[in-house]
Amino acid sequence: MEKARKFLLDFGMHIAKEEEGRIYFRGYGPDQYVYICEKSDKPEFRGGCFETESMEDLEAAQKKFGGEIRKLDGAPGGGYKLTIQDPDGFPFHLMYGQEPAETGQLPEKIVSNFPSEKDKPRKGTFLRFQPGPASVHKLGHFGLNVAHAIRKIANLIERVPGWNGDHNSLRAWRYFHSYVKNVRFRIFQ
């Protein structure tokens, strides 16, 4: 865990909470935490987490896919979480009710050579970056290596809370687009 702690702090995250065997890391955005590092016997990724619009959506997902909705008493911001296994055995989590964190200090705006109506080009000035961690807002995407990409995409869309089976459903598309921002699949034969 010490190597992970050092890497994530150097990467630009901040510790939101630390307890025995678990560290919650956050960025400067409104998310209470964006990464959880847990002590384990083997290295593994335990899944991404997506926020539902309502408790009813979380309960509907539980009814459809099983699992137990757990209250997150010890986690920063609280809330409720449901863990679901997809057909390939990959876990992912649905969450509702987490209180937003107070936004941290925003990074300084970088003046560029590309002017717009609001910005002027930097004339006679230079950008001087200081060595150190970047400003992390959140973790916006993660990658999966899957054998059957089409089946995986269909399965992810089917698991959208509140989805009624209509592939043209605005709600399903909004959820999938809003919360699964960057999905890339690499197909292996």
pLDDT in tens, 102-115: 887 777 776 666 66
Average per-residue pLDDT for the chain: 77
Would you say the C-alpha torsion 10, 11, 12, 13 has a positive or negative sign?
negative
pLDDT at 175: 43
- By CB atoms closer than 10 A (0-12, 13-18, 19+), residue 136 is buried
In this structure, are 70 and 96 located in the same domain?
A: yes
Residue 96 CA to residue 78 CA, distance in Å, equals: 9
pLDDT in tens, 31-89: 999 999 999 888 888 888 888 888 998 898 898 888 999 999 999 999 999 998 877 77
pLDDT at 22: 93
pLDDT in tens, 147-166: 776 676 666 666 655 555 55
Tell me the whole-structure pTM to 2 decimals.
Answer: 0.73
Looking at the structure of the chain, the number of domains it has is: 2
In this structure, are 88 and 9 located in the same domain?
A: no
In this structure, are 71 and 39 located in the same domain?
A: no
Tokens 């865990």 found at: 1
Range of the domain at 33: 1-44
